[in-house]
Structure 1
Amino acid sequence: MNTEDESAINRVVNLYGFAVDTQGWELFDQIFTEDVDADYSETSHWRDLATLKSDFAGYHDPFDGTQHTMMNHLVHVDSDKANALTYATWRLIRRGLAGGDFWEGTGWYDDVLVRTAKGWRISSRVCRIIWWGGNPLVNETVPGVKFQLPVNALREERLAGRVRYFDAISQ
């Protein structure tokens, strides 16, 4: 494992949390490819960077604050392609809502990255929530978009053949 590649990939993954929390959507250009395939749920799936940036800006604008923490980084590099699995926690804050000011959760990102002339970029991301708590109204910043608690235990996803990082290191 090239530690420089691993460090650069971890920086890209961590930069995502910083970009979201600062609402610095221009930083997504340093994180994702133009043709990114970002699957956050059955109803939240993007296939290009411009739409991802626009939708994330609209969704996150109403929050008074957010905090995303990336951890337990696992990286597998194979030449100019890499797989990374990262655990995440987040807290979203909107003051003054009936039922409480925050919504929080935990989940994981299963990323495919490619080496570009400008460094590593995420070309494909699967994001799954495994737990959430707090006031779900905080999270409803876009009319009609509601999150339900899916059962996306990492073990179950692996057994179903849907964890690309696991597949990459098992070959």
Structure 2
Amino acid sequence: MVEHDKAAIIEVLNLYGFALDAHQWDLFDRIFAEDVTAEFGPAGSAWSGLANFKRSFAEFHAGLDGHQHTMMGHVVHVDGDKAHAFSYGNWLLVRESADGGPSWEGTGWYDDELVRTDRGWLIQHRVCRLMSWTGNPLVPEPNAEHHPDMQTNVLRRHADEGRIAFLKAIQAQ
């Protein structure tokens, strides 16, 4: 059963990139819990509640001409009806009208806490951190609650400081 749960969780993590890039915000209902807390360092903001999160992401991404989010390197730890997942991401944002060039690329990670629900596995708490970026920092322009933050993060420092929920979960085994 654990292997089935891990596969279902990885499907949820991958669906996020597709839903985001296709602007299919209703698919977020299959990814995030109603009471989700989403902390996005690259956006310089955090959201509570699915409706608020969906609205804000729709507003920000509508200002871009295109974007692609790649999710990879998933590791998953299941403990009953709770799970922790860690994955890496690459993000390409394109805005043709940006002064200085149309593209910005970032890499980073997602540290997720999930819950099993009657609708399947859903992310209840997501932390996203930027590791590196290149390109035009004016492409991800501020919009409503989004205040782009180009501060980079080193995973080992977050791990050393006990700020990676997935690491804490597997060390508690």
Residue type of the partner of 2:133? W
1:47 alignment counterpart: 48
Instruction: Count the aligned residue pairs.
Output: 171
Q: How does 1:6-155 map to 2 (within 5 A)?
A: 6-41=6-41, 43-142=44-143, 145-155=146-156
2:69 and 2:58 mapped to 1: Cα distance? 15
- Give the share of equivalent positions with the same residue, in percent: 50
Measure the CA separation in 2 of the matches of 1:149 and 1:127: 13
CA–CA separation in structure 2 for the residues paired with 1:14 and 1:153: 23
Deviates more, 1:159-168 or 1:138-147: 138-147
Contact 1:33–1:121 (8 Å) recurs in 2: yes
Per the TM alignment, residue 97 of structure 1 is displaced from its structure 2 partner at its CA by 2.3
Q: Distance in 1 between matches of 2:50 and 2:65?
A: 25
Quick one: distance in 2 between partners of 1:2 and 1:132? 35
One-letter code of the match for 1:32?
F
Q: Check conservation: 2:32, 2:124, Cα contact below 8 A.
A: yes
CA distance in structure 2 between the aligned counterparts of 1:43 and 1:15, rounded to whole angstroms: 23
Could you tell me how far 1:145 is from its partner in structure 2? 4.4
CA distance in 2, matches of 1:143, 1:34: 21
* TM-score calculated relative to the size of structure 1: 0.95
Measure, in 2, the Cα distance between the counterparts of 1:138 and 1:61.
13
Structure 2 gap ranges (5+): none
Instruction: State the one-letter code of the partner of 1:122.
Output: I
Amino acid aligned to 1:18:
F
Of 109-118 and 35-44, deviating more is 35-44
CA apart distance, 1:96 = 3.0
RMSD over aligned CA atoms reads 1.5
State the secondary structure of the residue aligned to 1:124: strand
Partner Cα distance (1:148, 1:96) in 2: 20
Unaligned runs of at least 5 residues, structure 1: none
Separation in 2, partners of 1:153, 1:147: 18
Q: Which amino acid aligns with 1:55?
A: S
CA distance in 2, matches of 1:29, 1:143: 22
